[in-house]
Amino acid sequence: MRALLLSLILLGNLQSGLAMDHGGMIMDEKGMIMNANTDRLPRDCPKISENVDITIHAGQKHALKFVGKMFAFDQQEWDVKPCAKINITFINDDQIRHQLMIHGLPGYLYPEGMFHLELYGEGQLQASLIMPSQKKTYLVHCELPQHMEKGMKAQLKVDGGDGDLPSIPGLTKPVKADVYPVNWTQLTWSVLFLSALLGIAIPFLIIINATGINNLYNKMLSKVRLKQ
């Protein structure tokens, strides 16, 4: 009995250290891959047209180039041929959770029409998918709350795509632009008034004292010449 219990405990420990595979979803302590596809062709593809290797970084530092954004991918657009096989290396540069999701794929090949990579912190994952032949633009984003809204959004085009998606940072206009309202309190008005007053007063003082400053400069210059 004791030997049986020890065997079960050992087996459980071994299984916990391995990635779990649940019909299209592979998950371990670092992250998750859903609906990866290396060889199943879409119905409209007689063969794979090209192999494309893409490395995609995700993190806060990639949002610094976009005003008002907190998260972003290092690239915001990719374009591939119809029936291309895309080999994605997804790298999370943060210590927080990020996802890379591609929506609108054919459901018979990708359940829920989705390809999904997820990292719970800093690290990387690799997985492949095969695109259909349809000329289309696919949404690529992180589905964690507010990550897409704060900038983690891109687009994947097949054969040039069928148009641009809205609110792609650095590429397209937002559906609703970010607004940063000022809380106009008495202190805010006082600071604004003081700043305006100083902005007017300092140039004025410089102008009216220009002659005196010039005379002082000439005197100092004369003393230096006499010493020489």
pLDDT in tens, the chain (228 residues): 554 444 444 444 434 445 565 657 899 999 999 999 999 999 999 999 999 999 999 999 999 999 889 999 999 999 999 999 999 999 999 999 999 999 999 999 999 999 999 999 999 999 999 999 999 999 999 999 999 999 999 999 999 999 999 999 999 998 877 676 778 888 888 888 888 888 888 887 777 777 666 777 777 777 767 666
* Residues 6 or more apart in contact with residue 130 via CB below 8 angstroms: 37, 38, 39, 40, 41, 42, 45, 48, 83, 84, 85, 86, 109
Pick the CATH number of 19-158 from 2.60.40.420, 3.40.50.300, 3.40.50.40, 3.40.50.1220: 2.60.40.420
Question: Is 162 within 8 Å of 68 (Cβ atoms)?
Answer: no
CA dihedral of residues 183, 189, 191, 192 (deg, nearest 10): 100
pLDDT for 19 equals 56
pLDDT for 20 equals 61
3-state secondary structure 74-136: CCCEEEECCCCEEEEEEEECCCCCEEEEEECCCCCCCHHHEEEEEECCCEEEEEEEECCCCCE
The domain limits of the chain are 19-158, 186-227
What's the pTM value of the predicted model, to 2 decimals?
A: 0.71
DSSP, collapsed to helix, strand or coil, labels residue 41 as coil
